[in-house]
Amino acid sequence: MRASAFGGGFTWGVATAAYQIEGAWDEDGKGPSIWDTFTHRRRTIKDRSSGDVACDFYHRYADDVALTADLGFNAKRFSISWPRVMPAGTGAVNQRGLDFYDRVVDECLARGVDPWVTLYHWDLPQALQDRGGWTNRDVLGWFGEYVSVMAAALGDRVKHWMVFNEPLSFTSIGQLLGLHAPGKRNPFGFLASVHHVNLCQAVGAGVLRDLVPGGDIGTSQYLSPVVATGTTPIHHKAERSADAFVNRMFIEPNLGLGYPVDAFPFLRFMERYEHDGDDKAIVVDWDFLGVQYYTRLKAPPLPIPYFGTAPMFGHDWKRFELTSFGWEIRPDGLYDVLQRAHGYGRFPRLVVTENGASFNDVLAGDRVHDRRRIGFYEDHLAAVLRAKNDGIPVDGYFAWSLLDNFEWAEGYRTRFGLVYVDYATQRRIVKDSGHWFRELLSR
Ligand code: FCB
């Protein structure tokens, strides 16, 4: 594989998220987020850990940005912690929090690494959760205020923006399954959150349009081919509703296509949360869609559809290789989701804003021989190239992730990095996959 085959203007990046790497959870005036509250509760995280310290990126950002450049990447995607810059979610701005992101951006630019900013990667200010969080329609105003602060602070230097990271994940796992912050299990709170997040996509994109001239505005969605587990009409119905839930519920409203109620009838209750004019206010003209791809999902029929993780995220473990997360490795699925997103005819460009794999990495001296991760990246990049050669306008790829990090409810045992983190010392050790990227990108 040659990087030049992707073309000169291609963006090669690594992706990270604030809560998963920053640490410094209560430093320099930061307010608590729902993830601070959630991890500090007993028995929420498999290894009983938290992101209190994580990779200590808050203090080590300069070295980590240098490492990103050293591996040959020309972009870094990272998220802003809302409560770090607005401790109460609205009102007072914490200058020391803003200063941190200023330094990160300047460090990136000094190293020739283009900063790509995600505004919301799951760490809502706890103060807003106390007022209902995403279930409260007032979040439209709160979010608009926050986005204005960030656009004004960074918009002179940051051109690439993603309004959200994976609305599907934080609404369904956080509000329906209760396995992520804020740990709720409420189908109606979930529906309200879905609608408010979709409206906030438009609020955020609108603010960015106004305040960042020439801004490149998108959002990042989890996409995955969904397949039936059998051939009967019941199996096909299950497949259709799971597909609407995973792939359509967060994309189509913003394109003015409404909710896929026919395929997923539970969405008819969305009417409770829709106000007059929402159908217009929700529409967004995206510059790009951020595609996040990890695996393929299966949809077995259930009496109450899709309110449990195991069946929906059930995988074909007999036939395909799995990551240590238990996710099927299916590079062809990446081609499929790119093709499908392009099929809407509404996204001028596609960017793979996350793709990666967890394996049980072992530190052997100064090396981590993660051969399978290299294979994963080779195969998925080949799928991207095939899409590109078939005329699908995909012009960037971000590996998840630069560093091993706090993997939400899984804690630290699940490692996704191109760089190994020894959490006891915070030492970074470039894995063989990191060396492989450096080799690929230097040629
Ligand atoms: C994605 C998340 C990211 C990380 C990877 C493994 O769904 O956006 O934060 O957890 O999965």
User: 429: helix, coil or strand?
Assistant: strand
C-alpha–C-alpha distance, residues 226 and 244, integer Å: 9
CATH value at residue 12: 3.20.20.80
Of 2-16, 182-196, 312-326, which range is least confident?
A: 312-326
Round the average pLDDT of the chain to a whole number and report it. Answer: 95
User: What's the pLDDT score for residue 316?
Assistant: 52
Cβ(407) to ligand 1 under 6 A?
yes
Cβ(201) to ligand 1 under 6 A?
no
Cβ(223) to ligand 1 under 6 A?
no
Res. 342: pLDDT tops 80: yes
C-alpha–C-alpha distance, residues 225 and 229, integer Å: 13
C-alpha–C-alpha distance, residues 431 and 287, integer Å: 34
Res. 55: pLDDT tops 60: yes
Tens of pLDDT along 380-394? 999 999 999 999 999
Nearest protein CA to atom 5 of ligand 1, as residue: 400
Q: How far is the CA of 356 from the centre of ligand 1 (A)?
A: 9
Catalytically annotated residues: 166, 354
Res. 128: pLDDT tops 70: yes
Contacts of 441 (CB under 8 A, 6+ apart): 3, 12, 71, 72, 73
Index of the ligand 1 atom closest to the CA of residue 220: 8
User: What's the pLDDT score for residue 301?
Assistant: 86
* Mean pLDDT score, 269-280: 98
Cβ(252) to ligand 1 under 6 A?
no
Index of the ligand 1 atom closest to the CA of residue 222: 7
Cβ(165) to ligand 1 under 6 A?
yes
C-alpha–C-alpha distance, residues 365 and 21, integer Å: 24
Q: How many domains would you assign to the chain?
A: 1
User: What's the pLDDT score for residue 317?
Assistant: 53
Q: How far is the CA of 379 from the centre of ligand 1 (A)?
A: 20
Q: Which two tokens stand for residue 419?
A: 């760089």
Neighbours of 443 (CB within 10 A): 10
Tens of pLDDT along 62-103? 999 999 999 999 999 999 999 999 999 999 999 999 999 999
Range of the domain at 319: 3-442
DSSP H helical segments within 212-330, as ranges?
A: 233-243, 278-281, 309-312
User: 17: helix, coil or strand?
Assistant: coil
Tens of pLDDT along 111-127? 999 999 999 999 999 99
Best residue among 55, 352, 405, 408 to mutate for probing ligand 1's pocket (most ligand atoms within 8 Å of CB) is 408
State the helix-helix crossing angle for 95-110 and 139-154, rounded to 10 degrees: 50
Cβ(49) to ligand 1 under 6 A?
no
Tens of pLDDT along 223-237? 999 999 999 999 999
Res. 198: pLDDT tops 80: yes
* Per-residue confidence band for 318, with pLDDT thresholds at 50, 70 and 90: low
* Mean pLDDT score, 313-317: 53
* Mean pLDDT score, 349-368: 97
* Mean pLDDT score, 184-211: 98
Cβ(122) to ligand 1 under 6 A?
no
Q: Specify the residue for token string 């395909």.
A: 320
| Cβ-contact 358, 324 below 8 angstroms | yes
Res. 48: pLDDT tops 90: yes
Best residue among 354, 355, 402, 414 to mutate for probing ligand 1's pocket (most ligand atoms within 8 Å of CB) is 354
Q: For residues 414 and 300, which has the higher predicted lDDT (pLDDT)?
A: 414
Nearest protein CA to atom 4 of ligand 1, as residue: 407
User: What's the pLDDT score for residue 443?
Assistant: 83
253: left (phi over 0), alpha (psi -120 to 50) or beta: alpha
User: What's the pLDDT score for residue 408?
Assistant: 98
Res. 189: pLDDT tops 90: yes
* Mean pLDDT score, 33-37: 98
Res. 306: pLDDT tops 70: no
Best residue among 35, 120, 169, 416 to mutate for probing ligand 1's pocket (most ligand atoms within 8 Å of CB) is 169
